[in-house]
Structure formats: structure tokens, C-alpha cells
Amino acid sequence: MPTTYHSRKYKLNENFFSIWSVTMAYVLGFWYADGNMKHQKSYRVGFSSIDLEHLQLIKKSLGSTSPIVRYHLHGILRKSYNLWVHSKKLFYDLGTLGGVRNKSKVLKFPSIPEKFLKDFIRGYFDGDGSVHYIKYASTKNGKIYTEIRSNFTSGSREFLEHLRNFLSKKLSLSRRKISQYGAHKFKLGYGQNDTKKLLNYMYYPSHKISLLRKAIFLKEFSRA
């Protein structure tokens, strides 16, 4: 049951990161991609997304009644929505799971029970992953083909290397080279066949929570 932390007015399940579950692993993965943690006057754990409805699902999973807000930057309303929850316990529980402040460049793949790895990876993919169509001309006949591709991005090469090694071993995905496309910006990309395996693994039939606009690509393979 959600519990009220200290005397503050918003509710929160402060034990959320204390017990492994499908939803907890997913939210942890999403936080690894699009989360933050701060300790100034209080202990805060934050999530951000351009998908308001999805952030509302994260909020519900946390048993939180904290508001979802948007901020202005130089007078312009930002596209992303933000959810901040205040809890010393949640902050430190997240720390035991590998969470650190200013994590983007130093992110390391956490130790996760294997039964929840697909949920953690799905959460990370929904935050810092992409699935999309590409068109290309065949070098053999000049015909235009359309394929589905996917990728994970991170500010930490080490995180992506661990993820790549796991997916290569678990799903027999190609051991792709991790590319760098900016300062502390790395990408792990997969072609159509590997993307099909990846989406089937992450968005398995009984999964409880996901970002619909990415999960929907799995149906495209069934139509082929």
C-alpha cells in the first residue's frame, strides 16, 4: 500500500525499490534511461518523458500522488514532462541498485535477477531506445527496400557493452560495434532480424507495462 513519507502532502510507496517485481524492474530500467536523483534540501528521485500518459503509468506504479510538471527553459516550454518524488528511503534503495547522481556518463549495468532482465531492458529501451523504419537502395538491383531497425543509446559505453554482451549470449544477437555520435553519446544498433528477436524478448505477451508506440512495432513483423 502507498505510504505517506514524513509529513509531506504527497503519497508514495517508499518500498517500491525494495522488492523485485516485473513492474519494479521496468521502472528501474526506465529510470536508468530517463531518470535523475538529487540530494539538496531533500532526497528526490525524478523521471522525465515526452509521453505524458506513459509518465502517468510510472507515477501510478510508484503509488505516487506527486504532480507531473513541465518546465520552461529560456522562456520556452520544454517538450518533456517531469515527475519528482521525495523520499530518503527510495533514494537510498535506488542507490543500492546502482543509481547515482549525474549518472549519464558513468552508468554501469546493474545486478538484476535474470527473471526480471527482460523487464529492465524493456524499461531502458522505452526510455533511451528507438525502433523505426529505414529505406535503402539495394546495391544489386537498385530497388528500394524498407526495414525495421532498433537501437539503444547511452552516455556510457560500458553500459552498452554489458547490454550487448548479454543480448548476444541470451538471444544470439549480432555482436554489433558500439558507435559514437557525439561527446559521451554512444549507440548500439540492430538490423531487422535482430530487432525482431529483441522486440519479442522485451514485449512478451504477458508484460504489464510498456510504451505503446514502441511495442506496436512487434505487430509489424506478424504482418510480414
Number of domains in the chain: 2
27-70 pLDDT, tens per residue? 999 999 999 999 988 999 999 999 999 999 999 999 999 999 99
Amino acid at 6: H
Same domain membership, residue 91 and residue 178? no
Could you tell me if residue 77 is inside a domain? yes
Same domain membership, residue 76 and residue 168? no
Domain boundary among 36, 71, 103: 103
Same domain membership, residue 127 and residue 58? no
Could you tell me if residue 90 is inside a domain? yes
Could you tell me if residue 13 is inside a domain? yes
Could you tell me if residue 176 is inside a domain? yes
Domain boundary among 103, 130, 161: 103
Measure the CA–CA gap between 89 and 67, rounded to whole angstroms.
20
Residue 8 pLDDT: 61
Same domain membership, residue 219 and residue 183? yes
Could you tell me if residue 110 is inside a domain? no
Same domain membership, residue 146 and residue 211? yes
127 vs 102 pLDDT, higher one: 127
Same domain membership, residue 150 and residue 96? no
Could you tell me if residue 207 is inside a domain? yes
| CATH code for position 60 | 3.10.28.10
Same domain membership, residue 128 and residue 53? no
Same domain membership, residue 156 and residue 92? no
Segments forming the whole domain that contains residue 131 = 121-223
Residue 222 pLDDT: 66
Same domain membership, residue 161 and residue 96? no
Residue 121's closest CA among 56, 172, 170?
A: 170
Same domain membership, residue 61 and residue 12? yes
Same domain membership, residue 99 and residue 17? yes
Same domain membership, residue 128 and residue 50? no
Helix H, strand E, coil C: the string for the chain is: CCEECCCCCCEECCCHHHCCCHHHHHHHHHHHHHEEEEECCCEEEEEEECCHHHHHHHHHHCCCCCCEECCEECCEECCCEEEEEECHHHHHHHHHCCCCCCCCCCCCCCCCCHHHHHHHHHHHHHHHEEEEEEEEECCCCCCEEEEEEEEEEECCHHHHHHHHHHHHHHHCCCCCCCEEEECCEEEEEECHHHHHHHHHHHCCCCCCCCCHHHHCHHHHHHHC
126-182 pLDDT, tens per residue? 999 999 999 988 888 888 988 999 999 999 999 999 999 999 999 999 999 999 998
Could you tell me if residue 113 is inside a domain? no
Domain boundary among 103, 129, 145: 103
Could you tell me if residue 112 is inside a domain? no
Measure the CA–CA gap between 63 and 66, rounded to whole angstroms.
9
| Beta carbons of 29 and 127 less than 8 angstroms apart | yes
